[in-house]
């Protein structure tokens, strides 16, 4: 990864921060994207090895902001070699328990960020990747895309859509030397799920895996790092589960 320019969305915390740290440790220059967590994004950059890293901001639900953000990342890094689509939102909205307005809001915001936003980031990043003669896109999905999420159906649907997007782009972009792969974690020990892991459901969640724990962000980051490497280019179209065998699909 030495010398490569990498944009990581949602890199101010959790999986995104771990991904940024892993790329920087491998010698890459990283654009740390955030939406509202400016201080957290600055903390991420401060934790990165090496120099030449930049911070970029955008609400991924805003198409114009996405284009400006990707272009700013490419300008700040001197190009783009790798895009990691990690940013996402997650709202509880069980169908039988929320108002119709709340249902609509959850679906609109979730799809706008997790799926349409990610698609727009890909669209804007591809010209920069092509200008370098190729590169890699790695999308961060979820096991929920396969097993379903009864309390967060929009989240599961957005991640299933992200899986399909990745495979469609793998077919479209291989001719340009761009690989497109996906990682699908289960529960990961991050701020997003801390209340669940620390609450009464925590033991049951950990017991879903035969390891008796959930994933560490660094474990997801290592999978992303491998898939983004030139050596993994022929794995394009792949969806890699990183869930500790908590959910096995056939």
| DSSP conformation class of 215 | B
Taking each helix axis from N to C end, the angle separating 217-227 and 14-25, rounded to the nearest 10 degrees, works out to 50
Q: Which residues contact 175 (CB under 8 A, 6 or more apart)?
A: none
**Nearby residues of 36 by Cβ (< 8 Å), 6 or more positions away:** none
Structure tokens at 163: 């899986």
Nearest in space to 15 (alpha carbons), one of 136, 145, 152, 191:
191
Residues in Cβ contact with 89 at an 8 Å cutoff, skipping those fewer than 6 apart: 109, 110, 113, 114, 155
- Catalytic, 155? Answer yes
Q: How far apart are CA 116 and CA 103, in angstroms?
A: 18
Distances in Å between the Cα of 173 and the Cα atoms of 69, 145, 179, 225, 240 are 22, 23, 7, 20, 19
Q: Say which of 34, 90, 155, 247 is annotated catalytic.
A: 155
Q: Give the separation between CA 219 and CA 117, rounded to whole angstroms.
A: 25
User: Could you give the residue numbers annotated as active site?
Assistant: 155
């Amino acid at each position: 990864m030495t010398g490569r320019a990498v944009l990581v969305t949602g890199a101010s915390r959790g999986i995104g921060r771990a991904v940024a740290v892993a790329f920087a440790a491998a010698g890459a220059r990283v654009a740390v994207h955030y939406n509202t967590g400016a201080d957290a994004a600055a903390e991420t950059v401060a934790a990165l090895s090496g120099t030449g890293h930049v911070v970029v901001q955008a609400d991924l639900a805003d198409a114009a902001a996405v284009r400006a953000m990707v272009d700013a990342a490419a300008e700040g890094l001197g190009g783009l070699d790798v895009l990691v689509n990690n940013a996402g939102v997650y709202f509880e909205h069980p169908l039988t328990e929320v108002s119709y307005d709340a249902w609509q809001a959850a679906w609109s915001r979730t799809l706008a960020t997790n799926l349409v936003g990610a698609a727009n980031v890909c669209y804007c990043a591809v010209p920069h990747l092509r200008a370098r003669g190729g590169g890699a896109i790695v999308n961060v999905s979820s096991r929920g895309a396969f097993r379903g999420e009864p309390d967060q159906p929009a989240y599961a649907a957005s991640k299933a859509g992200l899986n399909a997007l990745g495979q469609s782009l793998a077919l479209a972009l291989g001719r340009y030397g761009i690989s497109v792969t996906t990682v699908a974690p289960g529960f990961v020990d991050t701020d997003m799920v801390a209340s669940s892991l620390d609450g009464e459901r925590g033991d049951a969640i950990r017991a879903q895996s035969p390891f008796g724990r959930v994933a560490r962000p660094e474990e997801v980051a290592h999978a992303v790092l491998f898939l983004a490497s030139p050596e993994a280019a022929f794995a394009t179209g792949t969806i890699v589960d990183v869930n500790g065998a908590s959910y096995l699909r056939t």
